A and B are shown apart, each in its own frame.
Chain A
Amino acid sequence: MDLLLTDEEKMVVASAREFLDGECPTSLVRKMETDPLGYPPALWNKCAELGWVGMCLPEEYGGQALPLVYLGLVLQEVGRAVAPIPLLSTVVTAQTIAKSGTKQQCQALLPGVIEGKTVLTWAFTERDPRFLPETVETRAVTNGDDFVINGTKMFVDNFAAAQYCLVACRTGDRTATGEGLSLFLVATSSAGISHTPLTTVAKDKQSEVIFNNVHVPKENLIGRLNEGWATTEELLDLSTVLVCAQMLGAARKDAEMAFEYAKLREAFGQPIGAFQSIQHTCADMIIWIDGGELLTYEALWKMDRGLLASVEVSQAKAFCNERCEAVVRNSQCIHGGIGFMMEFDLHLWFRRVSSWTMRLGTTYEHRARVARALLDVPGLVVLGAPLPVATAA
């Protein structure tokens, strides 16, 4: 039990921060908001050279097989710099394939991903945005040596930038237990795919993607047919906890700008940071960010040990959604009018954090998941001990 960063972990943070401080000015962040691809390939290649993409992927494909906690620390720095790179969607998809794909699939895909040549994304959500298996209506049907996919996916990250997209499809009946779902790796250039960019608060790159008789070779099935829900849950959990890390990095930087501003801005003859109302708001902001970090890293730490971490992931996301939003909103308020102006940089963090609180599960969804674990499984709960686990599925 030691919750402080180790020297190695501090080094990962420091080097990522130093790199992004030098390579990712806010002018680049602004530029990419209107760029059709949404990311600068030169910066992305340097990130890949630093080993960020392959950080937690197996060594046999060129990765470093480090714990996921390190990836969390890097994404926290990516969030701090609000760096416009497709790291999150790529690593989450790659980790899923490394875990559930065949050796041939990994060999064919992962080396290029690790080198930064292949960008990945995934698609689960449809019209009903909840992360439940029964929301998937997109169908994949066998046709000779192919599957044929028809349906519409929503809020797909970096689709224009990605070469491959991991798509959750219905291959069996619609069930609440998740049976009948399968995952397919689909080339984004396949015939029959069209996508429409969405205009978001973050000005990031999300799309509606329509699959119209899209043929996918059978060997692109990832994992077993009809058993894709368990893999999907793992993908969602990893993606959720990593977006928490990214959100916390951005929220901390955003808060630090408010603390500095409060020391400089004067009103009534003294810095506004000398007023207790501002001080107590700032104290709450740092407490909330710290709390979110502790929850997030406990979830990642458990995942690294192969322990069940779904409850911990939901704890982190439910908390970060509310508290990070409150942090960046308070930061806007401390800045007064200037934070509302386009020319001032603060909104780059504010808009992204806000947007991330709306992705990968709302506060209510995640609390419902925690409540199920607390209340619907027999046995007494003890804080700090693992919750009772249902014995029969």
Chain B
Amino acid sequence: MDFGYSPEQQKLRQEVAAFIRTHVTEEVLAELDGHENKGPARDSGTTRDRRGPLVSQLFKKIGERGWLGYGYPKEYGGQGGDRIGQYIIEEEFLRVGIPIGLAGSGAPAIMAAGTEEQKRYFLPKLISGEFSFALGFTEPHAGADLAALRCRAIRDGDYYIINGQKMYTTSAHVSTHVYLMVRTNPDVPKHDGISIFIFPMDTPGITVRPLWTIQSDPKAPRGTTYGDARSNEVFFDDVRVHKTTLLGEENQGWRVGSMGLNLDRVGASRYLRSVRRDEDIVNWIKQNRFGAYSPASDPAIRDKIAELWIEAQVCRLMTMRSMSIVEHGGNFTYEGSAEKVWAPEHGVKTTEAITQMLGPYAQLLNGSPFAIEKGIFAHNVMGAFQSGINHGSVQIMRDQVARRGLALPSPRRARTTAK
């Protein structure tokens, strides 16, 4: 067991922190805040530019230092660094609200299941930010039971014709490609007839319709857990894609997708999402009072803050354990699912506890008089629970811990095929 960072890793963290102090200026942050969607550019020429001039410059400099795709192989545009180093870089940038990692990008699945051509084509551009994927998983009738999905791809010579609908496709309006899970065989058990395709969002036959979230009206401040104003539903009408857009083998999509999801969950993004408010509330309470009342001296609040802080450490350590497992080859039994139960539920617990520490001030949204920290705690209340729902709900995750980790039997249920 080694709980420490190596001298090289510590040096890397110092370098990144120093870079951020110098280059992530108030002006850069103001530009980031001004854009509706935060983060790296997703400029495909067909969708809105998400990166202003200052942020573009910043990303150029980050790229020059070799910090984009740090843990990915050099031949695919990465730096061939270790996973922990990549984590350190992502963590430092995420703390100032700049996601530079490839969490939720689909890149881990391409690394695991892509052809050599696919790796060489997609990975460098995912790393540079030129490409981004909308993740087309959920459907109106397939959420938690994702394998019941109905979006259909039918083979037509060297092509597939895709028809169906996806829901809650968060970045569909600004992504260059869609990473789409569809049914290719309806006549076998539902998990055995699924495939994954990756193709451009400007392929004819795709319609994107906005769904507005409750969390960002008014606009949520930078650093809000989730905080996206917009999600989408996406319709596929006779969308014709070449067979080479298939990721992995036909009907192997469930395996490819689960593997990718497991790897995608590991990292700074998921972790910080769950624990940022712990730091925020401790630091706020240390420095502020309500008139003569100091929450930092309130015994009930002190006890709760310590309880939350301890649980946040468990989030951190579970993330580190997952990273260790990835470094050893990535054979998760239940640890990834365990982390995905603990951390989201902790994030919600903290979010709700904060409302009881700040009382009526915790309701004030961004822009309101007296709003605390631009209303981040209030905006958080409206979205923190999302962590327990997306990318596999905590209920599904507990099923996995019990059945894969503890070998408890599957419940009796009707085995059905999806048509």
> Measuring CB to CB, which residues of chain A are less than 8 angstroms from any residue of chain B?
1-6, 9, 69, 259, 262-263, 269-271, 273-276, 278-280, 282-284, 286-287, 290-291, 294-295, 297-298, 301-302, 305, 315, 318-319, 364, 366-371, 374-376, 378, 380-384
Contact = CB atoms under 8 A, between A and B. Distances in A.
B1 A5 contact: yes
Contacts of A367: 302-303, 306-307, 310
Contacts of A263: 407-409
A349 B183 CA distance: 50
A283 B279 contact: no
The SS class assigned to the A binding surface is helix
B111 interface: no
Contacts of B285: 375
A315 B310 contact: yes
Contact of B401 (A287, A374, A382): A287
Interface in B312-327: 312-314, 316-318, 320-321, 323-325, 327
Contacts of B286: 374-375, 378, 380-381
B342 interface: yes
A286 B306 contact: no
A180 B389 CA distance: 56
Given A1-B324, A287-B341, A368 B411 contact: no
A139 B78 CA distance: 67
A294 B305 CA distance: 20
Contact of B283 (A269, A287, A291, A380): A380
Interface residues of B, number: 58
B303 A291 contact: no
Contact of A279 (B3, B5, B399): B399
Contacts, number: 177
A68 to B, nearest CB: 11
Contacts of B341: 283-284, 287
A374 B287 CA distance: 12
Given A378-B286, A382-B95, 5 more contacts: A263-B409, A279-B398, A287-B342, A295-B313, A375-B302
B226 interface: no
A297 B3 contact: yes
Interface in B360-405: 395, 397-399, 401-403, 405
B275 interface: yes
B84 interface: yes
Nearest to B339: A287
B320 A3 contact: yes
A294 B318 contact: yes
B274 to A, nearest CB: 10
A274 B401 contact: no
B24 interface: no
Contacts of A366: 306
B309 interface: yes
Contact of B338 (A259, A262, A286, A376): A286
A76 to B, nearest CB: 12
B398 A9 contact: no
Contacts of B397: 283
A372 B264 CA distance: 37
Contact of A282 (B5, B303, B402, B410): B402
A4 B324 contact: yes
Interface of B: 1-6, 9, 84, 95, 275, 278-279, 282-283, 285-286, 296, 302-303, 305-307, 309-314, 316-318, 320-321, 323-325, 327-328, 334-335, 338, 341-342, 395, 397-399, 401-403, 405-412
Given A1-B3, A291-B314, A374 B321 contact: no
Contacts of B313: 295, 298, 315, 383
27 contacts: A1-B4, A1-B5, A2-B324, A3-B324, A259-B406, A270-B411, A271-B409, A273-B408, A276-B411, A283-B398, A283-B401, A284-B341, A286-B334, A286-B338, A286-B401, A291-B311, A294-B314, A294-B320, A295-B310, A305-B4, A319-B311, A368-B302, A374-B305, A374-B309, A378-B286, A380-B286, A383-B278
Contact of B317 (A274, A282, A295): A295
A380 B6 CA distance: 24
Nearest to B411: A274
A11 to B, nearest CB: 14
A3 B3 contact: yes
Nearest to A318: B310
A280 B314 CA distance: 19
Contacts of A4: 1, 321, 324-325, 328
B321 A3 contact: yes
Contacts of B316: 383-384
B324 A274 contact: no
Given A301-B1, A370-B310, A371-B302, A280 B282 contact: no
B406 A283 contact: yes
Given A270-B409, A284-B398, A286-B405, A294 B307 contact: no
B409 A294 contact: no
A9 B1 CA distance: 8
A283 B306 contact: no
Nearest to A380: B283
B406 A286 contact: yes
A375 B305 contact: yes
Contacts of B407: 259, 263
B402 A279 contact: yes
A54 B309 CA distance: 35
A3 B6 CA distance: 13
Contacts of B306: 318, 366-371, 374
B348 to A, nearest CB: 15
A290 B338 contact: yes
Contact of B275 (A276, A371, A376, A383): A383
